[in-house]
């Protein structure tokens, strides 16, 4: 599938509200950081708003309009603004886990199944050639990285599937921090492949 198609699908699924918590957080951060994506989302929302006009009516049983005028519980703002910080807290205070030198991760598990991961790479650090068992979504929050397919900076998204093999390298000046969702394990290739796949292998023993 074409990358733009997959990206638009993600935006559309977010706009319509069908995504689970992990992907919602990912997508809303993307829309915060990327004005093009945000414009696409607005187009979808206009369409979905039109649909709401024609939606069926299921009348609330115990709700009158006056109940909505004395409601003290309306929060000051939705926490969809700066979703990463409101979810993870200040990134500088996280207990990052060092996977190998210069490469750190911090992982949140949602409902025991979805994983939302922050990745921090020191300047110039690379990830050996690898591919993905399922789709992988990466959003750059700070700094930049590049790989065989291009350069990705703050607000850029990369969606990889099984067909993609790549060797990302963090910018020599800034390093990078990314938010990622990986549907299945990463598969490494080359000289150090087995060593880096250790985690995946070990995990499989324990299933």
Partner 1 sequence: MEKSNLNNLMKRIQKDRDEMAFSQIFDFFAPKVNAYFIQNRIKFESSEELTQEVLSTVWVKSNLYDSTKSALSTWIFTIARNKKIDFLRKNSKINFKEEDIREFLYQDREIDINEENEAKKQIERINNELDEQQKIMIKMNFFENKSHKKIADELEIPLGTVKSRIRHILTKMQEFLR
Binding stretches for partner 1 (CB under 8 A): 15-21, 24-25, 28, 42, 45-46, 48-53, 55-63, 65, 67-69, 71, 73-74, 78-80, 95, 97-101, 105-112, 128, 191-196, 198-199, 201-203, 205-207
Say if residues 99 and 164 touch (Cβ distance below 8 Å): no
Distance CA 145, CA 173 (A): 10
**Tokens (6 digits) for 25:** 């957080």
Minimum CB distance to partner 1, residue 188 (Å):
10
Which residue, 57 or 90, is less far from partner 1 as judged by CB?
A: 57
Give the nearest distance from C-beta 160 to partner 1 in angstroms. Answer: 20
Min CB(23)–partner 1 separation in Å: 10
Q: Please give the structure tokens belonging to residue 59.
A: 């009348």
Q: How far apart are CA 157 and CA 179, in angstroms?
A: 9
In 3D, which of 183, 184, 157 has the Cα closest to residue 38? Answer: 157
- Beta strand pairing status for 130-132 and 103-110? unpaired
108 vs 141 by CB, closer to partner 1: 108
Provide the β-strand partners of residue 104.
Answer: 98, 120
Query: Closer to partner 1 at the Cβ: 4 or 46?
Result: 46
Separation of CA 113 from chain center: 15
Q: Which is nearer to partner 1, 97 or 151 (CB)?
A: 97
Sign of CA dihedral 59, 60, 64, 70: negative
Q: Which is nearer to partner 1, 60 or 150 (CB)?
A: 60
Minimum distance of partner 1 from residue 197's CB (angstroms): 8
């Amino acid at each position: 599938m074409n990358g733009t198609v997959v990206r638009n699908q993600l935006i559309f699924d977010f706009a319509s509200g069908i995504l689970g918590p992990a992907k919602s957080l990912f997508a809303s951060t993307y829309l915060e950081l990327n004005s093009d994506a945000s414009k696409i989302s607005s187009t979808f929302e206009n369409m979905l708003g039109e649909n709401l006009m024609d939606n069926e009516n299921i009348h609330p049983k115990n709700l009158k309009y006056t109940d909505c005028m004395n409601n003290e519980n309306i929060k000051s703002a939705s926490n969809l603004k700066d979703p990463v910080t409101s979810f993870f807290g200040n990134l500088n205070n996280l207990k990052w886990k060092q996977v190998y030198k210069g490469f750190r991760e911090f992982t949140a598990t949602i409902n025991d199944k979805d994983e939302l991961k922050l990745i921090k790479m020191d300047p110039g650090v690379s990830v050996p050639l690898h591919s993905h068992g399922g789709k992988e979504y990466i959003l750059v929050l700070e700094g930049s990285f590049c790989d065989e397919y291009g350069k990705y900076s703050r607000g850029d998204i990369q969606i990889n599937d099984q067909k993609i093999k790549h060797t990302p390298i963090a910018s020599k000046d800034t390093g990078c921090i990314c938010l990622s969702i990986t549907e299945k394990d990463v598969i490494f290739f080359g000289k150090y492949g087995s060593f880096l796949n250790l985690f995946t292998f070990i995990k499989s023993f324990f299933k």
